[in-house]
Structure 1
C-alpha cells in the first residue's frame, strides 16, 4: 500500500498526511504524534479506522488498483501513535523500528509511520450444493443483491418460494464482513492490544502479526455466523433487514424450535428418561418386597413343595437378625417369637448371651455370668474385687 500518500503542508506546525486511495481524493488523513514518551499512567490502545466498498456496486469509490471481483474491499488504517515498543517489529502493519528520542536504560521504539494501511478483500458466496459453483452461487457482496430491482438472483437459484424466503433470511443475517468487529465500541479486535500496558507494547510482535490478526478476525466471523444460524433455527429472528424489505421480497421466520448442537443446552429424549425411572422404580419395589412375594407364592399356590419351602426357610434364617436369634437360642436363652419374620423378638426382660472377648482372635458368645444375672434380677450393681463391674442401665422401656 505504499506510494499513495502525500503531505499537506498548509499547517507547517502540524503537517497532515493524506492517504489517497479514493477516486475522488484522499481516504484517510493523520497527523504526527506530539511529545511521545513512555508513560505507564497513560492508557493507550490501537485504533483502527475502516473504509469499505463493494467491488460490484455502482457506488464503488476506491481507485481501480484496489478493484477485485466478487469481493468487499476494505482499507484498515491502524493508528498506534501513542504506543511505544520495547522490542522493534518489522511487521508491515505494526512496523516500529524507529528509536524513540530520549534517555532510556534500554532501547525504546515508536511506529515508523503515523498510521499504516492494510488492504483486504473478503469474498462471501452462498451456494447450492447440488449445482456447480460457476452457476450455483450467490455473491454475498454483489451490488445487485441490495439493489431492490428484483434481479438479486434468489428466485433463479431457489425457485421454490418457501426455500427462497428461508435463504433470503439467512443471507440477510450473515451478510456482514469481518471488519464489523472493529466498529464495536467496547471490544478490542486487535490481539496485539492484549500485551499493551500503559502505553508500552511489551511483546515482541512477529513479522507476520498482521496475518495473525486477520486469522483471528476470520475465526470470530465464523463463530458469529454459527451463533446467528443457531438463533435463527431456534426461532429468535425477529424480522427486518435490507433484503427482506425490498419490493416483492419475503422472509420467513423459523417458527418451530430446531435441534441444534450447542454448549448452551443439552437435549435428551423424554421417553428414555421416563423408561429409566420406571424400570429403576420397579426394580427397587421388587427388591423391597421380593421375600414377601415368594412367601405368599409358597403359601397360596402350588409352588409349595418341600424343596422350595426348605430353600425359602434357609434363606430367611440366613438374614442378620435371624442369625442373632439362632446364636442366642442355641445357648438356651430367650423365648423367641416371630421366628419366621424379618425381625425376631424375645419376651420383655429376658436374658441374652454375652460376647467372650478374652481371646480377641476368637471371639465367641457364652452364657451370662452370675454377676450379670444378679443385676438382671433387680440389683442396682455388683462389685467385683473392689470395683463396680456391672450396673443396671436406666431404661424407660
Structure 2
C-alpha cells in the first residue's frame, strides 16, 4: 500500500536523507491532487455507476430521475481508449520531413545538372572526380580496362552498357595466384585447360628436381603447388616408382 507522504520514498532501512525546507508544499500539493482525483472519480460514477458487485443495483438509476438523466447526458470525461493529436503539427512534421528527405536525395543531382549546363565550369572537376570514386564508376572503369563491354552515360551516377542484354566474358585463364579477365579473347576449351595444368605440373617437378639452395618457405611453397595440382596420393605413387 502506497503512503500518502512523498517523504516515505526517501526512507530506506529506517533511515532517510535530509528533507528540504519546502517539502511540506510538495506534500500539500500531492494531497490536493489526490482529492481532485477522487472527486472526478465520484462524479463519473454518478453516470456510470459504481464498479464491482454494486454496479448491478444502480443500473438504470437515471431512468426515473430527470436531473440525473440531464447530468448523464452532459457529462464529459476523458476516454483512455482514444488519443487526440494536432493534425496541423503532424502535417507540418510530415511536410518538412519529406522536403528534407527529397532534398538530400536529389539536391546533388539537380545542382550537378545546372552546373553542367551553365557557362561557368567552376567546380566541374571536383564534381566529376567525386562521381568517378563511386562504386559503379570504379566497376565500369575496371571493366573497360579489361576490354569488357561498350559503356555509355559514363558522366552520370549509373553507367550502363550500350547494348541491352550484353553478357560479360567469363575468365579465360584459371590462375589461382593471379586470376584475371581479358576481353576480346576466345574462351579456351577444356582440353586447353588440361594442357595448361599439365605444363604447370611439369614445371613444378623440374623446379623441385633442380639442385638449388632454397629457403624453407620456398620449399614449402613448391610442395604446396605440386600437392594442389595433382594431390598427395599421386605424389606418393610417383615416389615409389622413382625409388623402388
Q: What is the TM-score with the length of structure 2 in the denominator? A: 0.43
Higher helix share: 2
TM-score (norm 1): 0.29
Greater relative contact order (Cα 8 A, min sep 6): structure 1 or 2?
A: 1
Q: Kindly indicate which of the two structures has a greater share of residues assigned to strand.
A: 1
